[in-house]
C-alpha cells in the first residue's frame, strides 16, 4: 500500500510540474538573465552588459512618454471604474423604494446585472475591433449619436486626433470594466445586513452619506482588491491600445506594454525588451505593495 501511495503521488504531480516548469517557471527566470544582455535575437551570440539596459531605459524618452500615459491610466481607470461600480451596485442593491418591505434593490436588478456584465465575457480583441468602428469618423456610432441629437459640431475623428486618441481608449477600458465591478460589489453588499440601511434611513441619512459612511467602509476589502486589479491593468494596457490605436497617431497613445512588445517582436531587441519587462514588474510591485499597506484599515466585524 505504501508503495502504491508513492507511485500515485509521483504520477499525479510530475506531469503538471513538468509542464509548469518548462513553460512558466523557466521563462520567468530567463527573463532576468536576458535582461542583462544585449541579445538581438537574430544571432545566438550576445554580450552580458550588466545593468546597461536599465541605464538606457532611464534615458529613453519614448519609454517615459509611454509611462506617462500609464500613469494617467493608473489614476483615472481605478477611480472612474470603482466609482461607477459602487454607484450602480448600491443603486441595484439598496436603491429601491423604501416601502413597507423596508430597504431593497430596484426592480429588475438581476436583469441590469446581466446586461452590465456583457463586456466581461467578450474578448479584448472583439471589444477593440468593435470600438475602432464605434469611433470611425463617418460610419461610427459615436459621431452618429452626436449628429442625431444635434451636436454634430462635436463630432471628431476620435482616433485620428493626437489629443483625443488616448482618452478615447481610456473610455473603452472603463466601459468594459465597470460591469464586472458592479457584480463584484453587489455580491459583497449582499453580506451587509439590511437593518443597518434601515436604521440609517430612519435617522434621515441621505444616499450620499449612506454610501460614504456605511457601504464604502464595509466593502473596503473588496474595493482594495478591485484597485489592485485595475492598477495592474492600467500598468500594462497592451492589448486594447494595440488593437484600437496601435499607440498612434504618432506616439500619442503609446503605453509601456506596447513599447515592450514592439521592442521585442518588432525590433528584435530582446535584451532591452526583457529589461523593460523586469522594470515593469518591479514598478508594479512598488506601487501595489505600499498601496495595500497605506490603505489597510481594521476590518469591521459584523
Q: Which of 36, 81, 177, 222 binds other proteins (CB under 8 A)?
A: 222
H or E segment to which residue 39 belongs: none
- Binding of other proteins by 4 (CB under 8 A): yes
Q: Please state, in angstroms and rounded to a whole number, the distance separating the CA atoms of residues 41 and 270.
A: 6
- Binding of other proteins by 115 (CB under 8 A): yes
- Of 20 and 64, CB closest to other proteins: 20
Query: Among candidates 299, 278, 282, 292, which has minimal Cα distance to 27?
Result: 278
Residue 272 beta carbon to other proteins: minimum distance, rounded to whole angstroms? 10
Q: Which of 16, 150, 204, 208 binds other proteins (CB under 8 A)?
A: 16
Query: Among candidates 73, 45, 71, which has minimal Cα distance to 174?
Result: 73
Stretch 34-53 residues interacting with other proteins (CB under 8 A):
34
Q: Which of 195, 213, 265, 267 binds other proteins (CB under 8 A)?
A: 265
Length of the chain: 302
DSSP 160: G
Q: Please state, in angstroms and rounded to a whole number, the distance separating the CA atoms of residues 144 and 152.
A: 8
- Binding of other proteins by 12 (CB under 8 A): yes
- Binding of other proteins by 190 (CB under 8 A): no
- Binding of other proteins by 292 (CB under 8 A): no
Helices (H), the chain: 2-20, 26-34, 52-58, 61-94, 109-116, 118-121, 124-134, 141-148, 165-189, 194-202, 207-210, 216-218, 220-234, 238-244, 256-261, 270-294
Q: Which of 42, 43, 59, 123 binds other proteins (CB under 8 A)?
A: 123
Which range, of 65-73, 151-159, 209-217, 263-271, touches other proteins by CB under 8 A? Answer: 263-271
Count the site residues for other proteins by CB under 8 A: 89
- Binding of other proteins by 140 (CB under 8 A): yes
DSSP string computed for 220-260 = HHHHHHHHHHHHHHHTT-HHHHHHHTTT-STTTT--HHHHH
- Of 125 and 151, CB closest to other proteins: 125
- Binding of other proteins by 19 (CB under 8 A): yes
Q: Please state, in angstroms and rounded to a whole number, the distance separating the CA atoms of residues 80 and 167.
A: 13
- Binding of other proteins by 236 (CB under 8 A): yes
Which range, of 47-55, 71-79, 86-94, 154-162, touches other proteins by CB under 8 A? Answer: 86-94
Which range, of 51-59, 69-77, 153-161, 238-246, touches other proteins by CB under 8 A? Answer: 238-246
Distances (CA, A) of 177 to 19, 158, 182, 218: 32, 21, 9, 22
- Binding of other proteins by 232 (CB under 8 A): yes
Stretch 149-168 residues interacting with other proteins (CB under 8 A):
none
Joined grid coordinates for residue 229: 486589479
Which range, of 51-59, 64-72, 75-83, 111-119, touches other proteins by CB under 8 A? Answer: 111-119
Instruction: Count other C-beta atoms under 10 Å from residue 214's C-beta.
Output: 18
- Binding of other proteins by 9 (CB under 8 A): yes
- Binding of other proteins by 128 (CB under 8 A): yes
Report, in angstroms and rounded to the nearest whole number, the Rg of the chain calculated over CA atoms. Answer: 24
- Binding of other proteins by 64 (CB under 8 A): no
Amino acid at each position: 500500500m505504501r508503495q502504491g501511495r508513492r507511485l500515485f503521488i509521483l504520477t499525479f504531480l510530475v506531469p503538471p510540474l513538468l509542464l509548469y516548469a518548462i513553460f512558466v517557471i523557466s521563462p520567468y527566470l530567463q527573463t532576468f538573465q536576458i535582461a542583462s544582455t544585449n541579445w538581438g535575437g537574430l544571432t545566438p551570440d550576445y554580450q552580458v552588459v550588466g545593468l546597461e539596459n536599465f541605464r538606457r531605459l532611464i534615458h529613453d524618452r519614448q519609454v517615459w512618454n509611454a509611462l506617462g500615459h500609464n500613469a494617467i491610466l493608473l489614476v483615472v481607470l481605478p477611480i472612474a471604474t470603482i466609482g461607477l461600480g459602487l454607484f450602480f451596485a448600491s443603486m441595484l442593491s439598496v436603491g429601491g423604494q423604501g416601502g413597507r418591505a423596508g430597504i431593497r434593490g430596484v426592480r429588475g436588478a438581476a436583469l441590469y446585472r446581466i446586461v452590465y456584465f456583457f463586456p466581461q465575457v467578450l474578448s479584448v480583441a472583439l471589444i477593440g475591433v468593435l470600438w475602432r468602428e464605434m469611433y470611425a469618423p463617418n460610419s461610427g456610432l459615436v459621431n452618429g449619436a452626436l449628429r442625431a441629437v444635434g451636436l454634430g459640431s462635436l463630432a471628431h475623428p476620435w482616433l485620428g486626433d493626437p489629443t483625443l486618441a488616448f482618452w478615447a481608449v481610456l473610455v473603452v477600458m472603463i466601459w468594459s470594466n465597470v460591469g464586472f465591478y458592479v457584480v463584484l460589489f453587489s455580491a459583497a453588499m449582499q453580506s451587509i445586513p439590511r437593518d443597518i440601511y434601515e436604521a440609517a434611513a430612519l435617522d434621515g441619512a441621505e444616499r450620499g452619506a449612506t454610501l460614504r459612511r456605511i457601504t464604502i467602509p464595509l466593502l473596503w476589502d473588496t474595493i482594495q482588491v478591485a484597485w489592485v486589479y485595475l492598477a495592474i491593468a492600467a500598468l500594462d494596457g497592451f492589448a486594447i491600445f494595440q488593437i484600437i490605436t496601435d499607440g498612434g497617431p504618432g506616439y500619442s497613445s503609446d503605453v509601456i506594454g506596447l513599447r515592450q512588445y514592439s521592442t521585442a517582436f518588432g525590433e528584435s531587441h530582446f535584451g532591452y525588451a526583457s529589461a523593460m519587462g523586469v522594470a515593469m514588474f518591479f514598478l508594479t510591485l512598488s506601487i501595489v505593495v505600499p498601496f495595500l499597506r497605506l490603505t489597510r484599515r481594521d476590518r469591521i466585524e459584523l
